[in-house]
Structure formats: C-alpha cells, structure tokens
Structure 1
Amino acid sequence: MSTRRSDLADLTYFLAIARHRNFRLAGIEMGVSASALSHALKGLEARLGVRLLHRTNRSVTLTEAGAALRDAVTDPFARIDQAIDDLNRHRDTPTGRIRLNVLADAASLLLAPVLPVFADRYPGIQVDIAARDRMVDVIDGGFDAGIRHGDTVPEDMVAQRLSADLRWMVVAAPAYIERHGVPAHPEALRDHHCLGVRLGDDRIYRWEFEGSQGEFAVAVPSRIIVDDGRAMLALALAGVGLMYAMEHNVAPHVAAGTLVPVLSDWATTGPGYHIYYSSRRQVPTGLRLLIDLIRERRPLGL
C-alpha cells in the first residue's frame, strides 16, 4: 500500500496523540480541535486496517500496533523536522515554532522581559509557552525545552544557565505581624501560620534557610497549602500567613510596604533558572536564538 499525502499529516497527528495520551492536549500542540484529531485518527486506522489506540472516557493508550508504529516513525519525522529547521540558515528571516514548558515564575520574570524584543527581531518564529509548576517530561509532552531551577533539571538533559542564583526569603503582611508578631528564628515558625508550598511533584516543600552551621530545612505547619504562586501571594497580602518566596517575586510589595521581610538573617540562595532539552537532537534555530537573547539581556542577571 503506497503512502498518501493525507497519511503523512495523520501520522503527525498520531504522534502528537501518542506523546500526550490526550486528544485535547495534542490538539493544542497541533493547532486543531480534538474532534478533528479524532476524525483524522479514525481515517488513518481505517486505511491501515488496524486499531492504533484504546480510547475510553478517561484514558488513551497505545495498542501493540500503535506502539510499533510510533517507534517506527518517530525518528524519521524528527529528521524531517530537523531538515526543515536547517533551512533557516538560508532564510533572511528565521521561521518556525518553539514549544516551552516553563515554571510560572520564570515565564513572568525571565521570558516576559525579553519576548517583546524577540518578537521584533524574529517575527517568523512562534513561541508557545506552557507556564506550569507541575513537573512534566518535556520529550513526551512534545516540548522543545523546559525551564526549571537548576537543581530540578533531569540528569539526562543538556542544560544551560539563564539566570544568576536566586534569593529566597520569608515575608508577611503588616496585618499578620500586628496580630501574630515576628518569628525570631526559623524553628519558631512551628508556632505561626505558614502558607504551605506544594511542589510540582506533589511534595510539600520544607522551607530552606542558611545559618552559622550551614543550610537546613524546616517542615512548617500549614493549614493552607497552595501550588500556585499568584494565589499564595494574594493570601500573603491579605494577612493569612507567612509566605516563603523568591525575592524577585515580592520585591515590589516589599518596596511598597505591603509585605515585610522576616528572618532575613537566615535567607538562603538557590540555583537559578536553567533551560534544558534533549541531548538526542539538534537545538531548533528558534530555541537557540531565544537562549542567546536571554543571555544577552540577562533579565535576572547571569
């Protein structure tokens, strides 16, 4: 059976579905509706004469035939994508699309300051950003790269530093301090109301400090646990509890007096933001240009 042009398009859709195991997310990546993907897949299965996916209301899994097809066509399609991207060397204006999975704070603090310049310099490059704190496999998710703190980058990835190390501190609203006072030592946090931090891997973060004996961590009591930085900031400003925060995120509120630093003598510094990507493929032109611009502009130092 010869390959038709529609087969090539539908195989691209199939690979996106296989990566995400979800029609909606695959549709977002490909820029089409979930129903269009479903229709394309049904057509591909009919032409091939085999079922490629098991679909229920809750899950999408590959059949044995689907897994075999995915393994067989992934590398050839990746080589085609790379060959098309290599043509950027012969264009006056680079084109393409880059998909990034980024910590929400990094999206606002690191990318937002440079993207206006990037858009002006490279109008032919589309940047698709998923700003999420939950850890994902950027390869399985169909992303070109991820941006995380340096100590959370997977070991099998190539990583490049994009910022200086980041300072972490505890802050509280004046209304909270007026009601509950100021903790004199990190261990005193056990007697305070603290806003718990749920990490991207579902662990509850232990607040880290640095004293004369080195670094240590405190498991603070948390009646309220949040996994979104904006929500946590709103709660801290409302005087609900103490917040453990990156200095850059709260600096405007500290300057305005709506948040007050506490335990400053024990503030610690952690790894800066790093961008990471697979070591098994060449860096897309758009991604390389974005990395170069961030390192040129240094919105968070370097």
Structure 2
Amino acid sequence: MPFRRSDLADLSYFLAIARHRNFRKAATEMGVSASALSHSLRGLEERLKVRLVNRTNRSVTLTAAGDDLHEAIRDPFAAIHEAEDRLNLHRDAPAGRVRINVPDDAATQLLAPVLPEFVARYPDVELDICVDNAMVDVTEGGFDAGIRFGGTVPEDMIAQRLSADFSWVIAGSPAYFERCGEPLHPQDLMHHQCIRIRLGNSRIYKWELERGEESFVLDVPGGVTVNNGSASRALALQGLGLIYMACEGIADLTQRDLLRVTLPEWSSPGEGYFIYYSSRRQVPRGLRLLVDLIREMKPLGL
C-alpha cells in the first residue's frame, strides 16, 4: 500500500519511537502526549496492514517489518531536517528547534546564565534541553548535540570546549565538621560519612586526590549514593556528609560559608565541559549561535 501525504507525521512519530524504544520519551521529543503517539502508531499500522512495534509493559521493540521501515526512512528524514537547517542560513532571523542532552550541573551552571540572553537575541529558536546524567548516544537519541566533561566525550564526535578546566575538591558543611571533625589526610576519608556519586554509566565514582607526586583513588564509604550534583549539594548542606565536587560548582556556597573545602591541597584537576555532535550531520544554525554565546559570556571561564 503506497504512503499518503498524511502519513509523513505518523512516520516521524514512528522514528521517534524507534530511537527511544520508549513511548514517553518519544512523546516528549515530539511534543505530544504518549496516548497521541500510541494512537498515531496504531493508525499507521492499520493503514499499512502490518505490525511495526511490539509493546509490553516492560519493553518496546521493533518487529522485522518495523526494522525494515526504520532502515528505509531514517536517512531520508534526516536529510529533510538537514535541508531545513540549511534554509535557516537564508533567513534574516534564525529559527528552528535545537535538542541538547546535558547533565544537571551543566544545565544550571553553564546554560542557565546564558539562556535569558539567548532567548532575547533569537526568539524564534526553540531550545529543547534534556537534563540527563546518563551517557547517551545523542544521534540515536534524536539530539543535535550533547554536553559532557571532556574526558567522557565519544571519540567519533566533533567537540568544542565550553568552559575552563575544573578543580575537584572535597567539601562539607560547618555542622558536619563540628559533629564529625575534619580529615587531615586522604586516608582519613575512609572513616567519614561520604555522599557517593553514581556516574552515567552506573559505576560508583572513586574519589581522586592529588598533591604533587602523590595521588589517591578512594572508594569512599557512605550510606547514601546519588546520581547528580544538585542532590549532592543539597545533602551536604543538610550536614549529611562530605561531597566531591568541582570547586566552581560550589563557589557560591563556599563564599557564603554554607560549605567549606577540606584537604584543599589535595584538589584534583579535571577537564571542563565540551559540546559534541556528529560529524555526519549539518550543525543547526541555532546550535552554532548557542555555542558562540556561551563562549562569549564564559559563565564557567574559558
């Protein structure tokens, strides 16, 4: 059965489902409800008289027919989106939609300071920012770009620096130090309550400390593990334990004496934030303008 013009929207919804293998995430990307997405897919399957997706309570997978359709239309639809981006070059005012995947600290510390100016300058550019600390394939996820620390950027991507390098430190609240004392050496951390971090790859991060030629990599103890910086800071402010954090990420708190850095001579250097995107796709004009503005305003140095 030949495709109809009205099938184009349903096919784009199908591609989102194929990318995410999750109706809720696909619906969020497309800006519709999950029920509307499901209705669209059901109508497409009925018109084509073939099942494209297997759905259970726990998983979403493509059928053999769905795999074939996905392979056949993925690149043509990508070419259509690229053509739209190229047309933006001929508009006086940039327009379009840019989707970015970022960790929570990058969203609050890197993007938040520049977004008011970006929206004022480019009101017709729509930014869709997905805050997610897990490492994702930005191309498969339907994103135009991702932001991560330099050492975690996939090697097959084009990357641009967005911030200066960071200095990683250990900090706690005055209440915590009053109750539990202060470590005098990295090995003392093994007798303290630490708030551990689970990385985007599900691994528990081991704290790295350096002083001259000396270094320690510690699997610190702690009864609470979190997967984002905002939660770490909130718990440290409550006096729960010590945190391992980029100094720049807690500067406002240390300046107000809400948190205090301990073992400062053992701070460890780390790469700053980079934005990365596929070399195989046209870079949307809106994305280039956002990168230029971040580099212009330098919210985390450069």
TM class by shorter-chain length?
over 0.9
**Alignment-derived partner of residue 123 in structure 1:** 123
Distance across 2 between alignment mates of 1:2 and 1:238:
62
> Aligned with 1:201: secondary structure?
coil
Per the TM alignment, residue 141 of structure 1 is displaced from its structure 2 partner at its CA by 1.4
Per the TM alignment, residue 233 of structure 1 is displaced from its structure 2 partner at its CA by 1.2
Per the TM alignment, residue 45 of structure 1 is displaced from its structure 2 partner at its CA by 1.1
1:249 aligned partner, one-letter code? G
**Alignment-derived partner of residue 64 in structure 1:** 64
Deviations for 1:23-43, whole angstroms, at most 9, x for unmatched residues?
111111111111111111111
CA contact (8 A) 2:104 2:230 kept: no
CA contact (8 A) 2:149 2:274 kept: yes
**Alignment-derived partner of residue 211 in structure 1:** 211
Distance across 1 between alignment mates of 2:36 and 2:175:
53
Per the TM alignment, residue 136 of structure 1 is displaced from its structure 2 partner at its CA by 1.6
Deviations for 1:61-101, whole angstroms, at most 9, x for unmatched residues?
00011011101101101111111111112211111001111
**Alignment-derived partner of residue 37 in structure 1:** 37
1:198 aligned partner, one-letter code? R
Q: CA RMSD in A?
A: 1.2
Distance across 2 between alignment mates of 1:239 and 1:37:
45
Deviations for 1:241-261, whole angstroms, at most 9, x for unmatched residues?
111111122111111112111
Where in structure 2 are there 5+ consecutive unaligned residues? Answer: none
> Aligned with 1:90: secondary structure?
coil
CA contact (8 A) 2:186 2:216 kept: no
Per the TM alignment, residue 297 of structure 1 is displaced from its structure 2 partner at its CA by 1.3
* Runs (4+) off by over 4 Å: none
1:81 aligned partner, one-letter code? H
Is the aligned partner of 1:143 residue 2:143? yes
**Alignment-derived partner of residue 96 in structure 2:** 96
Q: TM-score normalised to the size of structure 2?
A: 0.97
CA contact (8 A) 2:105 2:230 kept: no
2:153 aligned partner, one-letter code? V
Is the aligned partner of 1:183 residue 2:183? yes
Per the TM alignment, residue 215 of structure 1 is displaced from its structure 2 partner at its CA by 4.2
> Aligned with 1:5: secondary structure?
coil
**Alignment-derived partner of residue 253 in structure 1:** 253
Distance across 1 between alignment mates of 2:223 and 2:40:
48
> Aligned with 1:188: secondary structure?
helix
CA contact (8 A) 2:254 2:260 kept: yes
The 5 Å alignment of 1:76-115 reads 76-115=76-115
More displaced 10-residue stretch of structure 1: 221-230 or 257-266 = 221-230
Per the TM alignment, residue 171 of structure 1 is displaced from its structure 2 partner at its CA by 0.7
**Alignment-derived partner of residue 285 in structure 2:** 285
More displaced 10-residue stretch of structure 1: 247-256 or 143-152 = 247-256
Distance across 1 between alignment mates of 2:112 and 2:237:
23
Per the TM alignment, residue 191 of structure 1 is displaced from its structure 2 partner at its CA by 1.1
Deviations for 1:147-203, whole angstroms, at most 9, x for unmatched residues?
000001111111111101011111111111112211111111011111111111111
Where in structure 1 are there 5+ consecutive unaligned residues? Answer: none
1:80 aligned partner, one-letter code? I
Q: TM-score normalised to the size of structure 1?
A: 0.97
Distance across 1 between alignment mates of 2:272 and 2:202:
21
2:67 aligned partner, one-letter code? A
Per the TM alignment, residue 5 of structure 1 is displaced from its structure 2 partner at its CA by 1.4
1:14 aligned partner, one-letter code? F
Per the TM alignment, residue 6 of structure 1 is displaced from its structure 2 partner at its CA by 1.2
Distance across 2 between alignment mates of 1:231 and 1:299:
22
CA contact (8 A) 2:85 2:282 kept: no
**Alignment-derived partner of residue 17 in structure 2:** 17
More displaced 10-residue stretch of structure 1: 210-219 or 152-161 = 210-219
Give the number of aligned pairs.
302
**Alignment-derived partner of residue 46 in structure 1:** 46
Distance across 2 between alignment mates of 1:233 and 1:112:
18
Distance across 2 between alignment mates of 1:234 and 1:29:
30
